[in-house]
Chain A
Amino acid sequence: MDNHFDVIGSVLPKKDGIAKVTGKEIYASDVELPDMMHAVVLRSTVAHAEIKSIDTSEAEAMGAICLVPDDVPQVYYNERIVSIPEKTYRDRLVLPRKVRHYGEAIAAVAAETEEEAFAAMQKIKVEYKELPFYTDPLEANKPGAAPIYESVFLGENKFDVVNNVACERNITVGIFNCCPTCGTRFDYSCRLDEYHCGCGIVYTPAEDDGKAFDNAEVILEKEYDLSRVYHAQMETKSAVCRPEPEGGFTLWTTTQSIHNVRILLGEIFSIPLNKINVKRVALGGGFGSSIQMNSITPICTALALKARRPVKLVSSREEDMYDHHKYPAKFKFKIGATKDGKIVAGHLTVIVGIGGHNVQAYPLLGCMAGWYASLYKFPNLKFEGTAVYTNQAPCCAMQGYGNPQVNFAVESTIDMLAEELGMDPIELRLKNYVGLGDEFWGQGPTVKSTIKSCGVEEMLERGSKMIDWYERPQPGSGDGNVLRGVGLARGFHTSGTGGPKPGEVIDYSSASVKINEDGSVDIMTPIMDHGGGTWDAAVKIVSELLKVPYEMVSLSPTDTRTTGYDVNTHATRGVYCGCGAAYHVALKVKQELLTVAGQFLEEHPHDLDLIMDKESGQGVIVTKGLDCKRMTVGEVAAKARVLSMGTIAATGSYRQKNCPPCFVTNFVEVEVDKRTGQIRVVKSVTLGDCGTTINPDMLEGQLVGGLNRGIGYSTLEEASYDPKTGKLNCEGFYDSYKMTTAVEMPPLNKIETGFASTYEPTGPFGAKGLGEAAVNSIASAIANAVYNATGVRFTKLPITPAEVVAALKAKDEGRI
């Protein structure tokens, strides 16, 4: 570690550690208020239906406050307001008049206790007119399928929904979509059977592909099927809302963005933003499930406003499991390369079943295109993405935002291509990867920046040694009942969504920093921490910059009324963007501190410097080089107070103008039991490239946590639906939705992690993100290892024991 840092890169006690180990940390579901009512939600028992009537008379006779569609503002909203308004699709109301998935909230009840609310809710009578429903996007997309929506809004414009398509994206690079005669690019936003060029030529997509793949000596075409998965964050979505005497309300809720919740609720309820206060509380896991305002949040707010009393609403686990899932994806991927392993062209097609609401599949498709375009250099690249409404829980981001899905398709195919070419998979990757100086698509086609730090080569080389890559078995060469194999995949994620020019995604953050009169420091930030260490990074960055010891720097409790805007803790932007803002504000504070100290010490501020004096536990201002005059930060702040000179503090907003990729490399060793079909990860080597490691221990925690969820994604997890009932097969129960426990993890001494020695010039102290990257290529590495072990290629996730047994039997019998 660089020894010029005093706190960056040091392992220090997590600031919220004591509160969390003693059970004192307050999450939204722990908030209790005087005179508080408890609420429950009535959820649909059918998958697709018009609501003909809702009768709440009996519930109301029991003294309950009921909320039905007629009680809520008729404002169509999208719960995720990270994109610019023109690119935001709006299709939902606080309570719908039509049910679009099983378990959708249709009414809510508040009473003195949760039990009374539940009893009243059971008395509500709902009459449905049932409609055909779809749990498969291919079925929903067929002409003649029952429409899940007639029309929805894009920005301010209403448009008709055709064949249940929520949105499409078609993105090309190189000679794809260019007229073969005159070269003009065809711009189109939906899939076409023919392109008609102005020059008169009619041109088909097949001819287009033919031309782009013309120079390819090897072409592979593969299909992949990635499952719908439940986030399973430990805290179920919760909200507590208290109406305030002067109008407006205060809200404690599960969210990754207090400011976006505030803005949305202001719009929906037509309440000025200075009358809405959203408190920052601890988040019991996010993984993307709370990027958007959760559906229960406006319901709880509406109930509290109607009851004129505080209301608490905590989702049950079953309700939570019907609230949001990760996007499933069906891919077709065609790749062409020359014999010496240069990629010539790629064509990726994806169809995504997004569920009953469009929680912004448009940026998802853009991001999928970007992850694909940024893995390898495709001189000719085509992406065609279609998001289709289905009658399932709405999908939203989950760690990686389309990246694990795309990575699985590309990294599996790259392995197959290497085998086809007779080339080592590492060599093929090194020949084609997008690295230093190349363009990186951090958030789809409108948010790009040039890569300025890259540890890909270093990590592939180091990792290959750590796993004995070149000693791995030949695919499928093992015998006996337990087959061993080694696999690799590489991936990345973006750090934030900033580019040189703002694109379709909003990205900036705010912070305030103030020096107290004893030399301690308070940071006021609106950023949320999923637990990965974003808050600790903010403290370390400010501590390092002001040279005030870590113990003397704290985060103040904040809310939306006391902080400037922050878009969201998503897109792995917490450290790079959120803490980037704290860094830039602390720089201003440093300037002011040196100016004030200069007056006291009778020195020019340029001739002063800050050092950390760990013995006295103070930051100290000294004359540069000489250290002959000195004052502690506390002495300067105290004197400034006594002389009525003011508080040394600053506030500001900051936008990062890059989106540097944080790279990862995953090597895994698996054992596949032929008899049981069980896949065990027995060793993992994960290397990450996050620039300067601000919290080394917590970064390791990110990599290992990602490994755990990646094992679940590849071998266990699936929020599958019963096509006959429209219900989840697990019915929302934790005992049926299989996840990884401690037992599925490799032994401690077989989990190795490490970091590339890189420095991101645009990041705070050289740092970029890491969080989401930790999961993106795990499933791909596991599938590649399973192939190495068995000689069978699995292209569908999760790879279940039954499928393994069947496939290995088929292989032994010579059927595949």
Chain B
Amino acid sequence: METHQIELTVNGRRRSVNVKPNELLINVLRNDLHLTGTKYGCGIGECGACTVLLEGKPVLACLILAASANGATITTIEGIGAEKLDPVQEAFIDHGAIQCGFCTPGMVVTAKALLDENPQPTEAEIKDYIRGNVCRCTGYTGIIKAVQSCGCGGEHKKVTAKKQP
């Protein structure tokens, strides 16, 4: 199968990759760019483990063709709190939102997206927003508390879709 070169801005870095037309974004991130924080949990858009931000919006990397993201700006978990932990990440650690941690990258990315859209979400809004992210370990309450604790304004920094000049 022929490949096409695509350009992505991932976590602020310009990357170019050769992809087949049917290649999924999750595989490009994990295998070509070695960003293994984005997890595979189901491959059919049901678990949220592969959530990344595309132009600042949460998407499931297992459902997106890499070619369709050509030119886009993507933030993966590695792009959040790379220098200093983001308040959401701090909150996850402080509120028992992590057990095995396999859902955590997707949850953190989803939580960032929620707080970007709605800086003070209610409990019901948080539950509804993360219902597509499966966590088999925690029972979700630690995650909900962590997100809530960031929602008092100020603390949470919006992920801005920065493009390289």
Whether A25 pairs with B141 at a CB distance below 8 angstroms is: no
Q: How far is it, in angstroms, between the C-alpha of A17 and the C-alpha of B49 when the chains are bound?
A: 17
Whether B139 pairs with A317 at a CB distance below 8 angstroms is: no
Whether A284 pairs with B101 at a CB distance below 8 angstroms is: yes
Whether B139 pairs with A706 at a CB distance below 8 angstroms is: yes
Interface centre among A29, A234, A314 (most CB of B within 10 A): A234
Interface centre among B126, B142, B143 (most CB of A within 10 A): B142
Question: Which of A16, A733, A739, A748 meets B141, CB within 8 Å?
Answer: A748
Given A285-B100, A734-B47: A234 and B141 interface contact (C-beta under 8 Å):
no
Q: How far is it, in angstroms, between the C-alpha of A285 and the C-alpha of B104 when the chains are bound?
A: 12
CB distance from B87 to the nearest CB of A (A): 11
Which partner residue on chain A sits nearest B131 by CB separation? Answer: A741
Which residues, 1 to 45 on A, are CB-close (under 8 Å) to B? 13-14, 16-27, 29-30, 32
Taking CB atoms, residues of chain A closer than 8 Å to B44 are: 317, 733-735
Q: Assess whether B162 is interfacial by the CB under 8 Å rule.
A: no
Taking CB atoms, residues of chain A closer than 8 Å to B133 are: 742
Taking CB atoms, residues of chain B closer than 8 Å to A13 are: 93-94
Which partner residue on chain A sits nearest B132 by CB separation? Answer: A741
Q: How far is it, in angstroms, between the C-alpha of A29 and the C-alpha of B47 when the chains are bound?
A: 17
Whether B134 pairs with A739 at a CB distance below 8 angstroms is: yes
Q: Assess whether B58 is interfacial by the CB under 8 Å rule.
A: no
Taking CB atoms, residues of chain B closer than 8 Å to A531 are: 98-101, 137
Taking CB atoms, residues of chain B closer than 8 Å to A748 are: 123, 141, 144-145
Which of A297-305, A570-578, A658-666, A694-702 is found at the contact surface with chain B?
A: A694-702
Taking CB atoms, residues of chain B closer than 8 Å to A532 are: 99, 137
Taking CB atoms, residues of chain B closer than 8 Å to A708 are: 138-140
Whether B40 pairs with A314 at a CB distance below 8 angstroms is: yes
Interface centre among B40, B44, B78, B132 (most CB of A within 10 A): B40
Given A21-B85, A234-B39, A234-B49: A284 and B138 interface contact (C-beta under 8 Å):
no
Q: How far is it, in angstroms, between the C-alpha of A745 and the C-alpha of B145 when the chains are bound?
A: 13
Given A17-B92, A234-B47, A742-B130: A22 and B100 interface contact (C-beta under 8 Å):
no
CB distance from B44 to the nearest CB of A (A): 6
Taking CB atoms, residues of chain B closer than 8 Å to A286 are: 100
Whether B138 pairs with A22 at a CB distance below 8 angstroms is: no
Which partner residue on chain A sits nearest B46 by CB separation? Answer: A734
Q: Assess whether A705 is interfacial by the CB under 8 Å rule.
A: yes
Q: How far is it, in angstroms, between the C-alpha of A14 and the C-alpha of B100 when the chains are bound?
A: 11
Whether A709 pairs with B141 at a CB distance below 8 angstroms is: no
Which partner residue on chain B sits nearest A235 by CB separation? Answer: B102
Which partner residue on chain A sits nearest B49 by CB separation? Answer: A234
Q: Assess whether B89 is interfacial by the CB under 8 Å rule.
A: yes
Which partner residue on chain B sits nearest A13 by CB separation? Answer: B93
What string of 1s and 0s marks CB contacts (under 8 Å) between B76-89 and chain A? 11101110010001
Which partner residue on chain B sits nearest A695 by CB separation? Answer: B96
Which residues, 688 to 720 on A, are CB-close (under 8 Å) to B? 697-698, 700-701, 704-709
Whether A23 pairs with B78 at a CB distance below 8 angstroms is: yes
Q: How large is the interface on A (under 10, 10 to 19, 20 to 34, 35 or more residues)?
A: 35 or more
Whether B96 pairs with A700 at a CB distance below 8 angstroms is: yes
CB distance from A609 to the nearest CB of B (A): 33
Taking CB atoms, residues of chain A closer than 8 Å to B93 are: 13-14, 17-18, 21
Q: How far is it, in angstroms, between the C-alpha of A207 and the C-alpha of B38 when the chains are bound?
A: 63
Which partner residue on chain A sits nearest B141 by CB separation? Answer: A704
Question: Which of A22, A32, A234 meets B103, CB within 8 Å?
Answer: A234
Q: Assess whether B42 is interfacial by the CB under 8 Å rule.
A: yes
Q: Assess whether B108 is interfacial by the CB under 8 Å rule.
A: yes
Which partner residue on chain B sits nearest A711 by CB separation? Answer: B139
Whether B141 pairs with A22 at a CB distance below 8 angstroms is: no
Whether B134 pairs with A234 at a CB distance below 8 angstroms is: yes
What string of 1s and 0s marks CB contacts (under 8 Å) between A200-243 and chain B? 00000000000000000000000000000000111110000000
What string of 1s and 0s marks CB contacts (under 8 Å) between A630-665 and chain B? 000000000000000000000000000000000000
Q: Assess whether B128 is interfacial by the CB under 8 Å rule.
A: yes
Interface centre among B82, B93, B104, B127 (most CB of A within 10 A): B104
CB distance from A750 to the nearest CB of B (A): 10
Q: Assess whether B119 is interfacial by the CB under 8 Å rule.
A: no
Which partner residue on chain A sits nearest B145 by CB separation? Answer: A748
Taking CB atoms, residues of chain B closer than 8 Å to A751 are: 141
Q: Assess whether B18 is interfacial by the CB under 8 Å rule.
A: no
Given A234-B47, A530-B100, A745-B139: A22 and B89 interface contact (C-beta under 8 Å):
yes
Whether B36 pairs with A701 at a CB distance below 8 angstroms is: no
Interface centre among B35, B40, B93, B136 (most CB of A within 10 A): B136
Can you report 7 A-B residue pairs in the complex whose CB atoms are below 8 A from each other? A14-B98, A21-B105, A234-B102, A317-B42, A705-B138, A741-B132, A747-B123
Which B residues are closer than 8 A to A by beta carbons? 20, 34-44, 46-47, 49, 76-78, 80-82, 85, 89, 92-94, 96, 98-105, 108, 123, 126-128, 130-145
Known: A21-B98, A23-B37, A32-B34. 18 other contacts (CB 8 A): A18-B89, A21-B85, A21-B92, A21-B105, A23-B104, A29-B36, A32-B36, A234-B41, A234-B135, A317-B43, A530-B99, A701-B96, A704-B142, A709-B136, A734-B41, A739-B136, A741-B140, A748-B145
Which A residues are closer than 8 A to B by beta carbons? 13-14, 16-27, 29-30, 32, 115, 232-236, 282-287, 314, 316-317, 530-532, 697-698, 700-701, 704-709, 733-735, 739, 741-743, 745, 747-748, 751
Q: Which 10 A-B pairs have the closest CB atoms?
A: A23-B37, A531-B99, A20-B101, A284-B102, A531-B100, A23-B77, A708-B139, A704-B139, A734-B46, A17-B93
